[in-house]
Every structure is written in structure tokens, then in C-alpha cells.
Amino acid sequence: MTEQSATTKTDKAIITYCIEHAKTQQSKCAACNKTIPHKSLRVAEIVRRSKKVKKDAAKHTWYHFKCFKVPELLTRVPIEQFRGYPALNEKEKARVQRVIQSGIGSSWADLMEKTKPVKTEEELEADKEEQAKKDKKKKEDEDSMKMDMTEILTGTQQKSTAKSKNKTATAGKKEKKATLKPKTDAKSKVTKKKAEVALQTKQVVLPKKDLLELQKIAKEFSAFK
């Protein structure tokens, strides 16, 4: 490999990059200003005034690997010319490749940030499934409520007193759900309103006139199913 191709000349300065596990805990990250822990992966931008200056004597600007933003140079030279890269383990090499492939200005920290929405999407998917289950349950509840209503409105609730008592406990909840149901037209709105009244007063013995009216409504209600 030629070193020439891995360098950028600005005036006479030569810039190269190296990556390694921190040999000490004395370097600070130039991006976030925090200490780079001993043995953690760090990247240096090495600036030499000229080729005469030895690399080890050159100015090193250190970055946490995650904070380092891909410079243009690393996107156009073979990755093996990223000094220290060949000595990394396979997992680290893969990370370095990934961040460089993401283009100039990319950083591992950014990549990690960008992958968050993927997790969120998975979560959203899980939420959707959860919601679908809830909707199914809700529909079942509504269907069961419609049946209850029919029972109530046709005066058959006395046949299932135990069941009716049980339903009373959840009546408030179901009633709330009933109000959330989509309104198709004015007629169903009225029907529903009356049905709600029926629900609230199901333990009350209704006057015959009302009972007949409700029976009529019950038929209409059944027709809506």
C-alpha cells in the first residue's frame, strides 16, 4: 500500500487517521470532551506538517469511535489504509465498515440513533397487535351487550337473573363503550339513546306503554346487527 493515497494535503500538512484501543485513559474526545476510557475504541486524526514529521510525533486529535465523524478521505481510500483497522477484531471491523459506508459525516452514535426508529416500528407493530386484540375484545363485548339488550328489551332478563346481576357490575363500562360506537344516522342515535336509558333502568319494571315502545326499538336494534 502507498501512504500517499491515504493522505490529504492541505498546503503541506498531511492528515491521516488511525483507530485503536486506547492505550491510556489520558485522552479526551474532541467531539464530546469526555475522557476516552482505557482500552475503548478510539480514532485519531493525525496532522503532520510534512512527511518529515514522524506519525507518533504528530498531533493526534482523539475521538471516541462512536463520536468520530467519517471524513471524506476514508470514504475514498481502501479501508485497510485506515491505520490500525487491520488489527481490529471482526465485530469492530464490521462497525467501522458500516459507519464509513454510511458516508461523510456519519458517526456510530448517529447510526445508533437512526436504528432506534426500527425498534420503535417493531414496538408499533406490537402495539397494533395489542390494539387489534383490544378491538376484537371490544367487538365481542359489544356483541354480547347487544344480546343483553335484546334480552332486556324483550323482557327475558328475568330468566337469567344471575347473569343479569353480573352484567350490572360492568354495565357502566359497557354503557361508556356504547356511547363510543359510530353513529350511522339519526334514527340509530335515537335508538341508542333509548337503549342506554333501558340499560340504566333495566332493573326497573317499565310501564306497559314504554315496554311496547322498547320492544319495537329492540326489533329495530336487532335489524341493525
The residue ranges that bind Zn ion (CB under 5 A) are 29, 31-32, 64, 67
38 or 173, CB closer to Zn ion? 38
* Backbone phi and psi for residue 124, each to the nearest 5 degrees, phi listed first: -60, -40
For residue 73, the minimal CB distance to Zn ion (Å) is: 20
d(C-alpha 14, C-alpha 31), whole Å: 21
Least gap, CB of 67 to Zn ion (angstroms): 3
CB of 29 to Zn ion, least distance (A): 3
Closer to Zn ion at the Cβ: 29 or 100?
29
For Zn ion, give the closer residue by CB, 67 or 153. 67
In angstroms, rounded to a whole number, what is the distance separating the alpha carbons of residues 105 and 103? 6
CA distance 95 to 91: 6
**To the nearest whole angstrom, how small is the minimum distance from the Cβ of residue 132 to Zn ion?**
43
Distance in Å, CB of 13 to Zn ion, minimum: 24
Output the smallest distance, CB 43 to Zn ion, in A: 10
Q: Tell me which residue has its CB nearest to Zn ion.
A: 29
Cα–Cα dist 195/221, whole Å: 9
CB closer to Zn ion out of 67 and 99: 67
CB closer to Zn ion out of 44 and 67? 67
Of the pair 29, 199, the CB lying nearest Zn ion is at 29
